[in-house]
Structure 1
Amino acid sequence: MQGPWVGTWRPHPRRGPILAEFNTPGPKYGLPGTTGHPGHDPTRQRAPAYSFGTTTYPSAATCSPGPQYFIDSSITKSGKHVPPTALVTARPKTKIVVTPGPSDYTTEPADKHVYHSARANSIFSRPKDIKCSQTPGPAAYSLPRILGPRTPSTPAAPCYSMRWKSQYQSCFQDMAKTPGPAAFNKVDLDVYKPKAPKFTMRIKTKAVGTGTAPGPAEYNPGKLSATKTRDPAFSFGIRHSAYEASVVPKSQID
């Protein structure tokens, strides 16, 4: 390749497209697919999707091993035939029990049953008196009463009981059951007399203009552009590159 030199290097034609010339991210981002449910292209129509189930295996109760398995001759229709056999196991461990010796026994109390001996009586303590055999003394009894009704040994005179004073047909009995003058409340005069006008006494209102008002120093005049002319003002922005790629959301990258 021949061409004029520009300083220390010679310019040459480009071999492919430059990414800075495109306003889009470029071919490195893939378009969303049009098949399947997740990640489907939202601009395309999506047909109904159906899931494929797994193959169900037959039940073990209805399956037989088939001719490829060898059946042992010991297997019968009632189960496996096992002849009686003797099992060879380890020697069982013996538990050592400590038994008493001759010196641990006492034979003296049994001599009276083997040899002739004199009669021996044991002395016990005096038994306690049984409560059911104790009889009451003279002071436990009391003489029956001779006054009042229901005496067992003497005739009783007629008795009369003192009752309270009856209210029947007395001056204190209210035969009509009507309330007295004190049972009624006082009737308001406005019910049966002309009602006079009534006025409500309210609180004293505050006079207008007696509060604290702000002074001239409390106000901020700010900019005077509202009352006077102002020169035009321009704001300086940021210079944007023509080759800057646009921001692509992460949701559209997949």
Structure 2
Amino acid sequence: MGEVVRRRPIIAGRERGPGPGRYALPPTIGYINHDYTKPSSPAYSFHSRMSSNMVSVDSSPGPQYHVDAKMTRFGKDGTPSYSMLGRKKKTAGSFQTPGPGAYSPEKAPPLNFHHRPPSYTMAFRTRYRSVDPVPAPNRYTLPNLFGSHVPNKSSSASFSMSARRTAGGPAEDLSMTPGPGRYNSTDPSVYLNRQPSFSMQSRHNIPIDATRKPGPGTHSPEKVTAHLPRAPSFSLGVRHSEFVTPLIVDVLD
């Protein structure tokens, strides 16, 4: 078998490519052969100098040439125009049109089932009544709603507090007050669903395998050549690259 030659990657620092002048790109200045992928601004050119005849020879009508404002480059403006005439003189036979104040539409009777809005009139003031049969608001008396003595109203529960006992009460002798141990508590499993109960058994022996097993140092996978042409070998390459900047510790001014 021939020796396998390992190819190292190409370092970009050793490559010597063409300079910027070797690239031929379309220009982005001007409009001749302009790069079509870039936007271009409008371009203008200067005309050659005209002769002096335009100053010495008068070829225009001047300001006296008046153009009507209604004339456009498409023709005369087609918007309508109006004018106001003078007021006509009144004659004896002329018809005098009545003004808005001469009409009284509110006096016309309803015709053809016309609907009229409601109309109201104001009567004269009545005499003051000396005896008013209607009682005032403070003359009414309503039943009291506090307590449970109203038969036709719903009421909440009412409680009363009695006086504190002085003879034989807990305030006189604290030893008469029963402690927590005096009360008998019922097992909850009597009146509720009984919960599952568990018990703990003795500890079981752990199964032990008495066979001897090889440790990690017993195996040598680097010596296996069953599926390889030879055992793997390693070598150290170049310690430092020639393109790496060296570490400068002491800087001399």
Instruction: Output the TM-score relative to the length of structure 1.
Output: 0.26
Higher-Rg member (1/2)? 1
The higher relative CO (CA closer than 8 Å, separation ≥ 6) is in 1
